[in-house]
Amino acid sequence: MRILITGISGFIGSHLADYLSQTLQQAEICGLVRPRSSLDNLVKIDDRLRLLEGDIRDPGSLLNVLATSRPDRIFHLAGQAAAGSSYNLAAETINTNVLGTVYLLEALKELQQNPVVVLVSSAEAYGLAYSDELPIKETASLRPLSPFGVSQAARDLLGFQYYKSYGLKIIRARVFHVLGPRQPAYYFLSSLAHQIAEIEKKKRNPVLRLATLENKKDYTDVRDLVRALWLISEKSEPGEAYNLGSGQAWSGNEMLKLMLGMTRAKMVLETEETKTVFPEPPILLADIYRLTRLTGWKPQISLKQSLLDLLNYWREKV
């Protein structure tokens, strides 16, 4: 089996590469990486992992990568993943996440390739969910609240349209919030862990800067998530959509309390005040019945262990 992972050097992509290389002894794994991008996350590169340079915003490079890799299965993870930054990078976010997906699917059509494609989007596509819609089912309306969320909704819908129009074997994965080692510091929990690690080593003033803590989010460890991605690629029929989450939601205050219990450092908590307050979904909670019924998947790593592993990751990095 030949597998292509777009965005392989990123947070989720690198963990997926680790999981597949450990689980599938006979698979050839290819990864799409942008020129000059950091490969620090790919800590377990072996002879079966082949990195191919390209850019999802460049149709020509995608044609070359697909012609070279000839994948039986694609996990499409590449894109601009910072929801908060998308307000100031709206055009870039749409260009990368939406047009990049179009270019990938068009390249498959042009080359007459039809692998199984797991098209990964974010639960930010759901956006505003009302109380009578919780937990959120795959049939819920999409009401994104950020340019990033809009790009994820469009990405998901493109997957459905290309399946219906051209018969491409696309499975849509709507990923709720993720945490674990290697998570970039622009994510809320990783930012907290990064700050705590720096305070512990006296590399910054003992002030922990916080964003909004009231909103509730459904968190899954990235190592559990990549198992779910593989399982739906194996068991799902094309055209289907699945929520990938834990089925539980925690507020920022609850997560902060857990993380503070993992350090002896003394610090002052300071809420950051921004001039512009953008809307955020008050709660994103997944209904994962379809996923568990199909695959039997359950989270194996506890929330506390995920947070501790994330904190220890930054303790080693700073």
Q: Which domains does the chain have, with CATH numbers?
A: 2-178+221-244 (3.40.50.720), 183-217+248-284+300-317 (3.90.25.10)
Query: Which residue in the block uniquely carries the two structure tokens 């080693």?
Result: 316
Average pLDDT of the residues in 89-114 = 97
pLDDT digits (tens, 9 = 90+) for 136-159: 999 999 999 999 999 999 999 999
pTM: 0.96
Does residue 273 surpass a pLDDT of 80? Answer: no
pLDDT of residue 207: 95
pLDDT digits (tens, 9 = 90+) for 152-184: 999 999 999 999 999 999 999 999 999 999 999
In three-state secondary structure terms, 116 is strand
- Residues with Cβ within 8 Å of 167's Cβ and at least 6 positions away in sequence, in order, are 114
Q: Residue 92 — very low, low, confident or very high, per pLDDT cuts 50/70/90?
A: very high
Q: Residue 214 — very low, low, confident or very high, per pLDDT cuts 50/70/90?
A: confident
Of 186, 218, 213, the C-alpha closest to 84 is 186
pLDDT of residue 42: 87
pLDDT of residue 276: 55
In three-state secondary structure terms, 73 is strand
Structure token pair of residue 242: 């699945």
Cα-flanking dihedrals φ and ψ of residue 7, to 5°? 75, 35
Query: Which residue in the block uniquely carries the two structure tokens 């990486």?
Result: 33
Q: Residue 62 — very low, low, confident or very high, per pLDDT cuts 50/70/90?
A: very high
Does residue 85 surpass a pLDDT of 80? Answer: yes
Does residue 219 surpass a pLDDT of 80? Answer: yes
pLDDT of residue 31: 97
pLDDT of residue 274: 59
Structure token pair of residue 117: 């494609």
Does residue 43 surpass a pLDDT of 90? Answer: no
Half-sphere exposure of 243 (CA within 13 A, CB side): 28
